[in-house]
């Protein structure tokens, strides 16, 4: 599949999504771009990416890790 077709399909699939969902998609795209730069660049830039998270993303991230130890206990 060509890059242009993939881009068109992605745009089409994101229509009518909530702002929160679009924000999550944007965060994922930024993550994938950093990862593509390589491990060193990724580790170097991850702190900046975390600092740039929007309020929506921070809320989502906090919700994901709420009660983490209880929900995902370590097996001994």
Q: Going residue by residue through the chain, which has 76 residues, state the pLDDT in tens, using 9 for 90 and above.
A: 899 999 999 999 999 999 999 999 998 998 888 778 776 666 667 777 777 777 777 787 788 888 878 877 887 6
51-67 per-position pLDDT tens digit: 777 777 778 778 888 88
How many other C-beta atoms can be found within 10 angstroms of the C-beta atom of residue 57?
Answer: 17
> Distance between CA atoms of 45 and 34, rounded to whole angstroms?
7
pLDDT of residue 21: 93
Residues 6+ apart with CB under 8 A from 25: 14, 17
Note the pTM of the prediction, 2 decimals: 0.50
């Amino acid at each position: 599949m060509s890059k242009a077709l993939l881009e068109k399909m992605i745009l089409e699939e994101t229509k009518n999504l909530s702002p929160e969902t679009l924000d999550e998609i944007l965060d994922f795209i930024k993550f994938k771009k950093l990862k593509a730069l390589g491990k060193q660049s990724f580790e170097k830039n991850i702190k900046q990416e975390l600092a740039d998270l929007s309020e929506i993303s921070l809320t989502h991230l906090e919700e994901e890790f709420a009660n983490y130890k209880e929900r995902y206990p370590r097996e001994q």
